Amino acid sequence: MHPFNYQRATSPAQAVAAVAPAPSAAFVAGGTSQLDLMKEEVLRPSLLVDVAALPLKTIGALAGGLQLGAGVSNTAAAMHPEVLTRYPVVSEALLAGASTQIRNMASLGGNPLQRTRCPYFRDPAQACNKREPGTGCAALKGINKVHAIFGASAACVATHPSDLAVALAVLDAQVQVVGPAGSRTIAFPDLHRLPGDTPQQDTTLAHGELITSIDLPAFTGRSHYLKVRERASYAFALVSCAVALDMDGKKIKRARVALGGVAHKPWRVPAAEAMLAGKKPSEKLFRAAAEVAFADAKPLEHNAYKIPMGRNLLLRALLETSGLQPLQGPAGTAFAASVGGMGGE
């Protein structure tokens, strides 16, 4: 690991003032992503500013919704009674990620900002435009099994790894940030970006901007998160999906659907959402929506399996969210059932 300086921030403003003027300075919260990447020499910051002790650890009511402090641990958020009952998609996504020990350390601010799990990004011996712009993308012609099927570019085919981010993408969540130019609010779908020809930039945050909270608006509908992974725990999504349905009697008033593990950002599917709005839930409708959701997928050599896997997972998520099919077990155990579902393809 390269030598670096370390400071413990005393306030959000002081944290911003310490990071903003130093181009290679970074925040650290739980450190579960940042420190791993430093040990692997993927990241070499000159200064780490520790924001873990800042007073950003509360969950409270906000305009009918919920404000989640950026310093709240993944465990605390997942187990919070209001999150469990009103926003189960958030709780399920958090519990489907990592391990108990990691969730105890990991923070809500750090989780959506974790870097990709692309093995070529995480190996400094490999060409990677995201790690070192201009060096190429070894994944394009490499073992691209876990890579993107939507929104990729010739410069980068990496996917975004956070489960929580996929859940937040269907809740119209807002991210509150404070930075060198003051405070601002970012609509969650605008936080992450597609790679284009600048894949080194994962998000629309400016250097030195600190997330202070993630705000969830009021939501009275049903929501759900399902994830397929190679092991039943402690593994990242091959494909995941988050669904939020607002019901009007027996009809779907509004549907929001996001896919994870398939793109450089949580992938909303407006065509599927439009198909579901105003309709009565049925398996036929959900099959058609799942078909539409993957119609524009562009697989690479080794990841075409994500299309049938994703269609089946989305079908199951819609059936379970709407109540047409009972929940098939606790969050994080989607693997067996979903792989079983692949048999039909």
Ligand X SMILES: Cc1cc2nc3c(=O)[nH]c(=O)nc-3n(C[C@H](O)[C@H](O)[C@H](O)COP(=O)(O)OP(=O)(O)OC[C@H]3O[C@@H](n4cnc5c(N)ncnc54)[C@H](O)[C@@H]3O)c2cc1C
Beta carbon nearer to ligand X, 65 or 179 = 179
CB of 167 to ligand X, least distance (A): 10
CB of 23 to ligand X, least distance (A): 13
CB of 208 to ligand X, least distance (A): 9
Q: Considering only the C-alpha atoms of the chain, give the largest distance between any 2 of them, rounded to a whole number of Å.
A: 60
Beta carbon nearer to ligand X, 122 or 254 = 122
> What separation in angstroms does the CA of 81 have from each of 172, 232, 273, 299?
20, 25, 29, 40
CB of 213 to ligand X, least distance (A): 9
81 CB contacts (<8 Å, ≥6 apart)? none
Report the residue closest to ligand X, judged by CB: 110
CB of 265 to ligand X, least distance (A): 14
CB of 26 to ligand X, least distance (A): 4
Residue ranges binding ligand X (CB under 6 A) = 26-34, 36, 51, 70, 74, 97-98, 102, 105-107, 109-111, 113-114, 161-164, 210-211, 234, 236
Beta carbon nearer to ligand X, 30 or 341 = 30
CB of 111 to ligand X, least distance (A): 3
Beta carbon nearer to ligand X, 73 or 322 = 73
What is the residue whose two structure tokens read 């009972």? 326
Nearest to 226 by CA among 145, 320, 149, 304: 320
Beta carbon nearer to ligand X, 32 or 322 = 32
Beta carbon nearer to ligand X, 179 or 281 = 179
CB of 24 to ligand X, least distance (A): 12
Determine the residue type at 100.
Answer: T
Beta carbon nearer to ligand X, 177 or 297 = 177
